[in-house]
Amino acid sequence: MKSNILNDLESLFNNNFIAEARNLNESLGFHYFNENIQPMYFNGKKDAKTVLIMLNPGNADNPNNPYNFFEDKNGKSHYKSFEEFYNDHINTLVNYGTIDFERLDNFDLKQAAFLHNFNNLDFEIPKEFWNNDNLKRIAKRNVLMDKLQLEFIPYASRDFKGILDNGKLASKNIVHLKKYIYRVLDAIIEHPRDNVIFCSKQFYNLFSVSQEIEGFKAKIEMGSIKEFKDTEGKLKLRFSKVTIYYKDNIINAGIAHSFASQALPNAYKKMMRYGEFCYNEMKK
């Protein structure tokens, strides 16, 4: 992953665009991913026991959004050298939970709620943190600092539609995306993990067609889809197991199909119950 980050940042620093993001857009046939803001390959703790994998960073079209911390507001002239630029980039991603402690963010708190009832975390999420703003900040900081978040595609976009929405699209586009699968899997197997969760139904579509690719380097076995019947609301929340055999490693993971639902950004109790359901299913 380090070489990927270096290549992208060097391209951005020297040419004002990321060549790899441009190549991906050209391969997909339309300008989808932002080519001129810093990529986000990860944030948090690289050797964390808990890993959440997202599709890609968002909010690219709004540079004033405080979550879009990838842009250097002062321009690259702010940095005396590429090395300083690179080090600042990595430091921001590793320590963002502390750097951005005061601001409350629905997406970060959504992750904390999802992990709230996991019994094997090696960091603290305050119980019922949603009832107190200071506890929210602690929950946000801890979930950003002490887990690892990986981005499947490191280039930002406003949404992630039209690429993996169904099996037909996944079959069409996986040839352009397989190297991103390998990069994420390489990052996962670098350290022992207790919880590995892919946070979108699009991963189910992607992995389901992976064996169609000749010479694909991973064997992926899909589990059945389980539906969570919550006592509140009518949302259909789904989860499935996935087992990935890759480079002599076995990754026992889960796919939280409904994690990205726009109806769940601050429904903390529902997200907590959904996370608990996913955890129990994954550990069966």
232: pLDDT strictly greater than 80: no
Mean pLDDT of the chain: 89
Give the SS3 label for residue 51. Answer: strand
Q: 1: pLDDT confidence band, cut at 50, 70 and 90? A: confident
The 10s digit of each residue's pLDDT in 89-130 is 999 999 999 998 898 888 899 999 999 999 999 999 999 999
The 10s digit of each residue's pLDDT in 138-192 is 999 999 999 999 999 999 988 888 999 999 999 999 999 999 999 999 999 999 9
108: Cβ contacts below 8 Å, ≥ 6 apart = 140, 143, 144
Beta bridge partners of 252: 243
247: pLDDT strictly greater than 80: yes
The 10s digit of each residue's pLDDT in 31-61 is 889 888 889 999 999 999 999 999 999 864 5
- Supply the pLDDT for residue 262: 61
The 10s digit of each residue's pLDDT in 120-150 is 999 999 999 999 999 999 999 999 999 999 9
CA angle 209, 211, 216 (to 5 degrees): 120
- Supply the pLDDT for residue 91: 94
- Distance, in Å, from the CA atom of 42 to the CA atom of 8, rounded to the nearest integer, reads 14
- Supply the pLDDT for residue 159: 80
Q: 77: pLDDT confidence band, cut at 50, 70 and 90? A: low
How is residue 77 annotated by DSSP?
G
67: which 2 tokens? 């979550």
- Supply the pLDDT for residue 66: 38
75: pLDDT strictly greater than 80: no
